[in-house]
Structure 1
């Protein structure tokens, strides 16, 4: 037994409320091992007194299971956040003062991709609708929101079947709503024939306004559809909102997979945990049940392995998925039993299990 083995074992300890471990978060400052005694020094920044206690207990449990460790000495130094924590039940952050809470919003999840053309917006729309179904079936009265930050190509309004402009109450925009999902998009604020030709600072300002000047209300989940790539919009988002994590969407072929890996690395650099990788357009299933892997096979799973994160599943090619997007009726709503719909439902169930929505 040595310190490197102890460090590897501690990767099993997740920070409360996140899928990311305490090693990758940089919370373990020192590890010593001598004559059967394992000493671990932790440094946390939190205003929640329950978190240090839970992390300390989890570390002690892991150390107790290691062969060669006869006793554990775990010390925790706790620092208070530089900014006041948001109210109980609101989306929170552990990363820094630049981010702001959204009152009433529990969990903010980003949907991202390294490149365009992988069906990311379609994925975000159907995931939001699937989450609403899952939460409704469990008796939750809070709702789901969908923030379309794909500034240059805002397709969410079309896919969600909404077109009216948001109402304004005071200084706040009121999201439009359909299928029990609250939606805000640049596509609702500009004429559909007007191209969005903006520089970085204008994009940053818009995303900040979507966070600060939209009355989202009480939400269990806010799904954020990012534009592809790793530019101003992505960086503005992670600097503005307390993200719980990010889902990376890719298609199976090598061109998409390689770009997806690079795009996902951006979240690691800004301390946003990866929830996992989802593969879109995985296969086309014929009437006889035979599958055709038009874009190749296994790229999403390989991406997840390379990023050391979870593989969330495959979403098949389905003509009804495309038709539903064009008609403004997501397939999760129009035909919840289709294989594509079931793939979204499984991911929604996974999010509900990983990010508790019970009242705090």
Structure 2
């Protein structure tokens, strides 16, 4: 058996470099072209997916480092080109798996969890963002869709903002969108597509058909790759988006967020009932802004007590709906939201962070029904 040539060794090393947006090796993406080794000089040609690829500098730098790491290579020259339209079309078709339908249907092995609330202001988006980061921290592949189109906040909560203070725009490879990644979470939000230059990224004033189309595009045209969990940050209430998501993802699991306050708890129950009408399964309740312990040991119940347990009990009619956890009121949660540093990362030992991490553990430990799902197993 003959030994590999220096060019083969360089090609193997370079092919293992990961595309930071697609999260796949560039060799697997057919981005490595000619590799020539003359003496101790390696010449490597690569083709990026699009002109102006935001990851170009990083890919070139890592290709250069990978080639230089091969024994006997003293200098590396990298030539950077761009895929042809035909090559790009072939790549997007391969990434889609030859399918143009929504990849998170009932047969998918991805666990889809919609996080909802009856009313705004209960911290639903903050809880969702922290849950996503907590799950990614456990080694899971996590995607996050900001379905709160009118009140989008996920990009800011994850620190996905540029120097202009606006969310980064996803890279487009033909009609496929590559979601930005923060803390290991692939996230998409309407805030990434609005006109630049306006504080907050502008406002969205859309009705049902536009909202439905947006959700459909997020589910179909965004390349998340293989996910373990897809979280959906739902808008509060029982409006058009809740109905669209329910009709599109009737197999999704639903987690309800409420505060201990009775008024918030009563409204939260309604959002869960609408989810059930579309066939979705309510798997738990999260109580946010629960009692906090002050430095002198005093317990402050700023929003009352018992709301989360009351919602869980009210929903436990035909089947048990557990209270997954109570997240205490914590100033660091607010600070993390303002700075884009989720508390589960910035202050993992704070009581609120520990409560969120515990909820994440309970969610992933929950058994899944695989009826109707095509398992990736080939009979022999």
After TM superposition, the score normalised by the length of structure 2 is 0.65
Within a 5 Å distance, the mapping from 1:21-60 to structure 2 comes to none
Is residue 265 from structure 1 mapped to residue 269 from structure 2 by the alignment? no
**Aligned residue number for residue 360 of structure 2:** 348
Please say which structure displays the higher CA radius of gyration: 2
* Aligned counterparts of 1:125 and 1:275: Cα–Cα separation in 2: 18
- For structure 1, the 5+ residue unaligned runs are 1-85, 94-100, 137-141
* Aligned counterparts of 2:250 and 2:345: Cα–Cα separation in 1: 29
Task: Return the offset for 1:92.
Answer: 4.4
* Aligned counterparts of 2:104 and 2:151: Cα–Cα separation in 1: 27
- Higher relative CO (Cα under 8 Å, sequence separation at least 6) belongs to 1
Q: Deviations over 1:290-340 (max 9, x none)?
A: 310011001110110011011111001111100000000000010111111
Is residue 237 from structure 1 mapped to residue 241 from structure 2 by the alignment? no
Change (3 A) 1:240 1:92: closer
**Aligned residue number for residue 65 of structure 2:** none
* Aligned counterparts of 1:320 and 1:357: Cα–Cα separation in 2: 37
Partners of 2:104 and 2:219 within 8 A in 1 = no
Within a 5 Å distance, the mapping from 1:59-208 to structure 2 comes to 91-93=104-106, 106-134=110-138, 136=139, 142-162=140-160, 163-191=167-195, 192-208=200-216
Q: Deviations over 1:270-303 (max 9, x none)?
A: 1111011110001122113331001100111011
Partners of 1:106 and 1:357 within 8 A in 2 = no
Runs of 4+ in 1 over 2 A off after TM superposition: 90-93, 241-244, 355-360
Task: Return the offset for 1:106.
Answer: 1.1
Instruction: Say which of 320, 325, 329 aligns to 2:332.
Output: 320
Instruction: Say which of 199, 210, 224 aligns to 2:232.
Output: 224
- For structure 2, the 5+ residue unaligned runs are 1-98, 161-166
* Count of aligned pairs between the two proteins: 257
* Aligned counterparts of 2:204 and 2:179: Cα–Cα separation in 1: 20
